[in-house]
Structure 1
Amino acid sequence: MLTEKPKIILVACGRAIATSVFVAQKIEGILAERGLDAVTIPCTVAEVPARASEAALIVSTTRIPEELDTPVIVTLAFLTGMGKDRVVEQIVSYLS
């Protein structure tokens, strides 16, 4: 029986020290509560173009300067709480 590999979500911020790690943990927790299997990978915005092809989705706290084939959600919702439910629904929709 083949099992589907978890989808990868790149989570980007300016320096990949704290913010992207925090947001990545929030996203993984929320998706796990919904029974969705995804792996979040914190990274810097500068790393995104080189890593985009491995991801199903990119969530960033700042603008990504390049056009990419991978869908991008730019949001501060996981930091502020404002609009978080809407962003979670967007993420779920991209992973479905």
Structure 2
Amino acid sequence: MASQRILVICGTGVATSTVVVTKIREFCASKGLDATITQGKVADTLRGNLNADFIVATTQVPDSVGIPVIAGLPFLTGMGLDKVYAEIEKQFE
């Protein structure tokens, strides 16, 4: 499995994305997945030239980003989290 660059996006790039980054880091470590995880705010996606293989977002991301976007809201609600983890793991295939 290849290493993946994951960009975690929330509205402001601070609190919510920090929580999600921690959970994704723990998940990747538990599965032996090699990932570089960074965080940012939704405005970062408008600039283009994203240094990521895919995005996990807790907010709406423009369709124009050009890379896969995984809905990260289940990290906050706890509902549907298994599906999100499966989607993340699939990105490593």
**Does 2:92 correspond to 1:95?**
yes
Counterpart amino acid of 1:55? A
Name which of 60, 76, 81 aligns with 1:79.
76
- Aligned-CA RMSD value: 1.8
Distance in 2 of aligned mates of 1:52 and 1:28: 23
Residue number in structure 1 paired with 2:8: 11
For normalisation by structure 2, the TM-score amounts to: 0.88
After superposing on structure 2, the runs of 4+ consecutive aligned residues of structure 1 that deviate more than 4 Å are none
Structure 2 gap ranges (5+)? none
Structure 1 gap ranges (5+)? none
Residue number in structure 2 paired with 1:30: 27
Alpha carbons of 1:91 and 1:13: their partners in 2 closer, same or farther (altered >3 Å)?
A: same
Bigger relative CO (Cα 8 Å, ≥ 6 apart): 2
Q: Provide the identity percentage.
A: 40
Alpha carbons of 1:22 and 1:56: their partners in 2 closer, same or farther (altered >3 Å)?
A: same
For normalisation by structure 1, the TM-score amounts to: 0.86
Larger Rg over CA atoms: 1
